[in-house]
Structure 1
Amino acid sequence: MSGTLLRRTALVVGLGRRRHGDLAAENGVRAANSAVHHVNTAHPRWLFMQLAVYTSGMMSESSATAPATEQAARRPRVAVVGASGYAGGETLRLLAGHPGVEVATVTAHSSAGKRLSEVAPHIDLGHDPVLQETGVETLRGHDVVVLALPHGQSGQIAAALRAEDPDVLVLDLGADHRLESAEEWEAYYRSEHSGTWTYGMPELPLADGTRQREQLRTAREIAVPGCNATAVTLALAPLLRAELLDAGALSAVLPVGYSGAGRAAKQHLLFSEASGTAAPYAVGGTHRHIPEVLQNLRRATGREDARLGFTPVLVPMSRGILAVCTAPVAEGTTTADLLAALEHDYAGEHFVTVLPEGSAPATGQVAGANTIRLGAAVDARSGQATVISAIDNLVKGTAGAALQSMNLALGLPEATGLSRTALAP
């Protein structure tokens, strides 16, 4: 396919997405202008698949006569492991609307043998697959494998998959591969460290002036961030980089929805126990996302001075995180300074919204969307800054971040299959 045809094809596809509101207006033009350049030639096995995505829906002389099965086979085949849980189920929901991949296999543990419609009737893949037992044999031959497993369960199966096929793209929604320090992993998770993978937070600004997305473009192993870590990191990183906050006195209190606690049947997750109450957990510096946030802040600033108090609170809503972060400000810092730092670091970021002065985000504004909304204010009397972020813990906090990272690794437009539009009420 010639570069001219590819650009024209990408333009039509991009404009069609603009009309339907699935992507930002700029993505269609960006795809047209840079489709050729963003094909991930570092991994030749993806080249043909990427061209098929850019030409999706177009009828050329060659494609008009090609069987539908042949066209579908050109898309990367995805397996989702742990599909009956909230994280795996949300990943399937988003993949169902992704034009560039094919969900080929879904697996589970206790729900193996059931049809997807029995465990996730809200998801329509166009077919109703049976959930398979999780094993290397079942996952062999896929182009992308998404692991939605509890911590400690991804390392062994991921290593086996990568040993068989170095080109397979594996995304770990669990915690096993997020931390660089084996010592910190063992202190917080009480198990053996499985190694460190490329971190799946594209918007994270780094101390060297780049963003994390550049590392994701060539990644084959991606550690998807923790949901709370996403909410706190993206709220604080720009302000610490601008030296507007006292890094040694950071605090975050996070009202979180119950889906963040998983789908397992536990007494404290019953409606009669959870309704009408707010319940702090993992208090006193014990939450496992603390070392992840501090690692992110070190990478963003190049400094080791951050100290973080971190208190999550379960509140009776199904999804959402509202991270309320506070810290002393540098003398003379104003609300306008905070907002300017956020806007500077997130300029052009499709899934980040910095609210104007006087506005604060709410979880209802991001439900179902792959967005983070940020607000900030300075209390001049106390000398404290308050920075608030809102995300959907299952989308921007988990499955949406996975798709964003997957798109980058496959050389696809980053926002493919993702939306900034939330559900309301």
Structure 2
Amino acid sequence: MTFSVAVAGASGYAGGELLRILAGHPDFEVRTVTAHQNAGQPLVSHQPHLRSLSHLTLVESTVENLSGHDVVFLALPHGKSGEIAALLPEETLVVDCGADHRLESPESWAAFYGGEYFGSWAYGVPELPVGDGKQRDALAGAKRIAAPGCNASAVSLALAPGIAAGLIEEEDIVAVLAVGPSGAGKSLKTMYLASEILGSANPYAVGGTHRHIPEIQQNLRKAGAANPTVSFTPVLVPMSRGILATSTARLKPGVTADQVQSAWESAYAGETFVQVLPAGTVPRTADVLGANTALIAVAVDEAAGRVVTVLALDNLYKGTAGAAIQSANIALGLDETAGLTVNGVAP
């Protein structure tokens, strides 16, 4: 069976990455692509790399244009997805790549986003440890899925094994991320111009203000934390895509490096797309570009009494579009890996 697909926000970076993956998916057929100000223009005028989809023209992002498909992917700014999703048919599988349906707490939404709260959907990080299982258990048969924030999934996947195994403290978690500016979308802002980014590393949302913080806390609570505290600092660096997340936490007394390595390896044993590297090795963003892969290194800083994790992923692929499609595969009962690659692009 082939599932018909519509992608809203198809002229942006996340929409383009969704379409790039969907173009090679054996079970999906992209029939409709929508945009706002670019409606009426050929898709390839905004996504010139998508040659196999050159027959498609962007239409308005309306409920009428999106209805009638088996699957709808929403790659829209926060506030826009919720408005449209509320009017789509219940039988349609809707996957929101924006923030509108990630947070379970209305208070957290009000504090970090503001505006109307649209409720929470099944969270689209299948590998995330949840209790004695994984988040994929909540995705099977789902009709509404919230794809993750790319930074949030990076930190959550890196630290959840330590929380689930009871090896690390849930307070005093610190994460510093090197991130590519594509995660901020295509909107023209001075801080994202090449002349501002090239040759520089630029911190932003410093001091506990980044919107992915409550999402990380929510994920760590799923893994077993009661009230985790997270100091989170992203830094824009001159690479178009990619995240290198260095996340640390205090070890509980008596925990050894061997226990730590074993816990992380056990947490992701058998996972195709989340892989723990051998002790003493670290990942690079270059190793995961163009792949639905997250690579994790874990080490123990004996002097500081902390675990140090380093996770690399492609923010547009595994961080957004790949997670959305992987989750959709699960929801529809397809092979979870369908249409997705574990291999990156090099050099």
TM range (shorter): over 0.9
Asked if the contact 1:335–1:357 (Cα under 8 Å) also holds between the matched residues in 2, the reply is: no
What is the aligned partner in structure 1 of residue 302 from structure 2?
Answer: 380
| Matched letter for residue 26 of structure 2 | P
The unaligned stretches of length 5 or more in structure 1 are 1-48, 50-74
Other structure's SS at 1:125 match:
helix
TM alignment of 1:225-236, pairs within 5 A: 225-236=148-159
Asked if the contact 1:94–1:417 (Cα under 8 Å) also holds between the matched residues in 2, the reply is: yes
Runs of 4+ aligned residues of structure 1 deviating over 3 Å after TM superposition are none
| Matched letter for residue 181 of structure 1 | S
What is the aligned partner in structure 2 of residue 136 from structure 1?
Answer: 63
Alpha-carbon shift at residue 127 of structure 1 (Å): 4.2
| Aligned residue among 252, 256, 263 for 1:330 | 252
- Distance change >3 Å, CA 158–CA 126, structure 1 → 2: closer
Asked if the contact 1:319–1:392 (Cα under 8 Å) also holds between the matched residues in 2, the reply is: yes
| Matched letter for residue 123 of structure 1 | L
Other structure's SS at 2:171 match:
helix
What is the aligned partner in structure 2 of residue 213 from structure 1?
Answer: 136
1:67-121 Cα distance to aligned partner (Å, 9 max, x none): xxxxxxxx11100000010000000000001011100000011111110111001
Alpha-carbon shift at residue 126 of structure 1 (Å): 4.8
Alpha-carbon shift at residue 171 of structure 1 (Å): 0.3
| Matched letter for residue 358 of structure 1 | G
Whose strand fraction is larger, Structure 1's or Structure 2's?
Answer: 2
Structure 2 Cα separation of the partners of residues 152 and 235 of structure 1: 29
Structure 1 Cα separation of the partners of residues 240 and 281 of structure 2: 24
Other structure's SS at 1:175 match:
coil
Structure 1 Cα separation of the partners of residues 251 and 3 of structure 2: 48
Alpha-carbon shift at residue 410 of structure 1 (Å): 1.2
Structure 2 Cα separation of the partners of residues 253 and 219 of structure 1: 33
Structure 2 Cα separation of the partners of residues 190 and 305 of structure 1: 22
- Distance change >3 Å, CA 271–CA 385, structure 1 → 2: same
* Residues 1:184 and 2:108 aligned together: yes
TM alignment of 1:187-336, pairs within 5 A: 187-207=111-131, 209-301=132-224, 303-336=225-258
What is the aligned partner in structure 2 of residue 355 from structure 1?
Answer: 277
Structure 1 Cα separation of the partners of residues 116 and 207 of structure 2: 23
State the TM-score, normalized to the length of structure 1.
0.80
What is the aligned partner in structure 1 of residue 86 from structure 2?
Answer: 159
Asked if the contact 1:336–1:357 (Cα under 8 Å) also holds between the matched residues in 2, the reply is: no
Other structure's SS at 2:265 match:
helix
Other structure's SS at 1:368 match:
coil
Other structure's SS at 2:298 match:
strand
Structure 2 Cα separation of the partners of residues 338 and 125 of structure 1: 46
Asked if the contact 2:43–2:53 (Cα under 8 Å) also holds between the matched residues in 1, the reply is: no
Structure 1 Cα separation of the partners of residues 51 and 256 of structure 2: 49
Asked if the contact 1:333–1:378 (Cα under 8 Å) also holds between the matched residues in 2, the reply is: no
Structure 2 Cα separation of the partners of residues 275 and 185 of structure 1: 33
1:342-397 Cα distance to aligned partner (Å, 9 max, x none): 11111111101110111011101100000100001111122122111110000000
Other structure's SS at 1:232 match:
helix
Alpha-carbon shift at residue 336 of structure 1 (Å): 2.1
The unaligned stretches of length 5 or more in structure 2 are none
* Residues 1:102 and 2:4 aligned together: no
Paired residues, number: 347
What is the aligned partner in structure 2 of residue 170 from structure 1?
Answer: 94
Alpha-carbon shift at residue 404 of structure 1 (Å): 0.2
Structure 2 Cα separation of the partners of residues 273 and 212 of structure 1: 39
State the TM-score, normalized to the length of structure 2.
0.98
1:119-169 Cα distance to aligned partner (Å, 9 max, x none): 0010133542110011011112111110000111111110101xxx22100
* Residues 1:424 and 2:327 aligned together: no
What is the aligned partner in structure 2 of residue 34 from structure 1?
Answer: none
Other structure's SS at 2:162 match:
helix
**Aligned Cα RMSD in Å?**
1.0
